[in-house]
Structure 1
Amino acid sequence: MGTHHYEVDLVWTGNTGRGTAGYRDFERAHEVRVVGKPVILGSSDPSFRGDRSRYNPEELLVASLSQCHMLWYLHLASVNGVVVIDYRDHAIGLMTEHADGSGRFTEVTLNPRVTVADPQTEDTAQALHEKAHAMCFIAASVNFPVRHDPVTVSTGRVR
């Protein structure tokens, strides 16, 4: 029940000496900076003349949705007596590009694979994904569907 404030500094580092004199005259390199944290090296998607060795905003959006879901899920697991011993997600975002160069995300699918310590908690563990989705600040803020297709395992059983 409060307002949270986030500050991020973005610094373009891709001026190769000619600024933006021409579309091919500059790099899309930039840095995402938050006081007291490591710098995130960013660029655009390689499809848009970006550096594939750096994170692009589209990847970071998908990562934010995945992180938010996981963090809520782990919280809910802990308060509901589910001991999670491993959590992994392979999140997939779909973006459609329009003829004019604009575009939008049409969906993101989270694919969490959760390992729980006790097979008796598998049903609860599986059900907690719905609540985590409902609680995720990021998922509640985007204008496209965020789906999840979780798998819960324990002691060799898959559900």
Structure 2
Amino acid sequence: MEPHYYEVNLGWQYARLGQLSSPTLTESIDVATPPEFPKGIPGVWSPEHLLVAAVSSCFMTTFLAIAENSKLDFDDFDCRAVGKLENKDSKLQISEIQLYPKLVLVDDSDIEKGERVLQKAEKACLIANSIRSVVTSKADIRVIVKDYD
């Protein structure tokens, strides 16, 4: 596979607020110091949120590719993610990211396949594999209730 490059531009706006953009994307997003830090701005995406979001969204897209290749029939997927910021070795870092994927299957005979696909996605997620944070998941797999008339 040839290398791929992803360009992101950051422009400082004022105080602790910046704006992220990319020449290949149509929308920009504001980013700021989180309110837990001095002069942080509440209600704005922070680098910490973006890191956790990058892992979660990569996990989802990896899951979707593996699910398609595995012919896993599912009705819904979502994933809550929580990043733990702490001081380790005198450095602040996101030390852990916990993923909470919720998978709703169409057929209860696919539960084992769904578990395998989620495990493969966790191992293959390129963003999780690119960072030092420990990334783990605790899946919630359900089967959709079918109504028969």
Supply the AA of the counterpart residue of 2:13. Answer: T
SS of equivalent residue, structure 1 residue 46: coil
- Pairing of 1:19-58 with structure 2 (within 5 A): 27-35=15-23, 36-48=25-37, 49-58=39-48
Moved more, 90-99 or 50-59: 90-99
Q: 2: CA distance between counterparts of 1:40 and 1:155? A: 36
1:151 corresponds to which of 136, 140, 146: 140
Supply the AA of the counterpart residue of 1:97. Answer: N
- CA RMSD across the alignment: 1.6
Which of the two has higher C-alpha Rg?
A: 1
Identity rate, percent: 26
Bigger strand fraction = 2
1:125 corresponds to which of 114, 119, 136: 114
Supply the AA of the counterpart residue of 1:77. Answer: A
Unaligned stretches of 5+ in structure 2? none
- Pairing of 1:1-159 with structure 2 (within 5 A): 1-14=1-14, 27-35=15-23, 36-48=25-37, 49-97=39-87, 102-156=91-145
Indicate if the aligned counterparts of 2:75 and 2:144 stay in contact, CA closer than 8 A: no
Indicate if the aligned counterparts of 1:126 and 1:151 stay in contact, CA closer than 8 A: no
Corresponding residue pairs, total: 143
Runs of 4+ in 1 over 2 A off after TM superposition: 97-100
Q: What is the TM-score with the length of structure 2 in the denominator?
A: 0.90
SS of equivalent residue, structure 2 residue 104: strand
Q: 2: CA distance between counterparts of 1:135 and 1:39? A: 28
Indicate if the aligned counterparts of 1:62 and 1:92 stay in contact, CA closer than 8 A: yes
Q: 2: CA distance between counterparts of 1:129 and 1:9? A: 33
